[in-house]
Structure 1
Amino acid sequence: MSQPPSTNPQRSVIHLLRRVDQCAAQLYSTESADNDLTLRQLAILTAISRQENLSQTDLVAITGIDRSTVAGIVSRLIRKGLLERKRSPLDGRAYCVRLSKRGAKAVSGADRLYSRVEKKLLASVPASEATKFASTLRTILSAHSEDGASA
């Protein structure tokens, strides 16, 4: 007797997405063995490298990582010397973060690292399907983001 998709883990989209996430995280771990940045830390650094003067609230919106986790990641990246905290040029009461020279160097290889991981993750998927898959994921994220921004 066949189980409905919601109770059969092998057919549940939620379960499949989680398993693919685990595969991606394992590939990232293997490919990034020579650096000590987690995926979330790299996501924060990458976001900061693409836009100056971001607050922690901005980082939450851009990355989708919850506020308390972002705060912890930012603190750890500051202690590692990869980020610097400074007063916001827009609001003197607020703080924003920017990459230090070490942070800029650390994030400089991120695009190559992401490309290697994605290439390995999607190696068994035809290019046209991989493109459609990425587009579908962006559509889902956009539909379920508070402000419609994609990750």
Structure 2
Amino acid sequence: MKKIVTLLLTAALAVAAATTAFADTKIEPGPDSSPNPASGDMNVTYKVNPSYTVTIPGIVELKSTTEGAVKGTATVGATGVTIPKGQAVQVKLSTDFTATSGEGKNAATLKYKVKKGNDEVANEGAVLTVTSGSGSTDLTFELAEKVTYSGTYTDTVKFIVSVG
């Protein structure tokens, strides 16, 4: 057992010690006083880690409008987006577009739709794409059918965030 532990520790040390070393370039006078070598190179590096913050509201409440519709608005946004060039932070929503009130045989359902501008968003549809900086979009949630039963109707919409 001691041999195995010793072997593992030796392997770990070998891997940890295997780092690239950059040597300084020394320019000194050659036999005829001219510099030898005549030039030197230096690497400049700066690592920028990816970062972003996506904000998704915790709730959207639907209310009757003066036009007779039942709607609510939620803003989904991304700020501080710093990711590799050619990629984007994308936010999609996942839902069955059905809110439920009650349980079991007394459960009532209401269908709703989500719109981005004038376009209806499908399940697994993208609602926001940001390549750098900041961006946001307003989503309108509205009932897609007439109310038959009273109650408090709820549903959970999942927002899926990806970078690619």
The normalised TM-score by structure 2 is: 0.21
Q: Structure 1 or 2: larger helix share?
A: 1
Q: Structure 1 or 2: larger strand share?
A: 2
The normalised TM-score by structure 1 is: 0.22
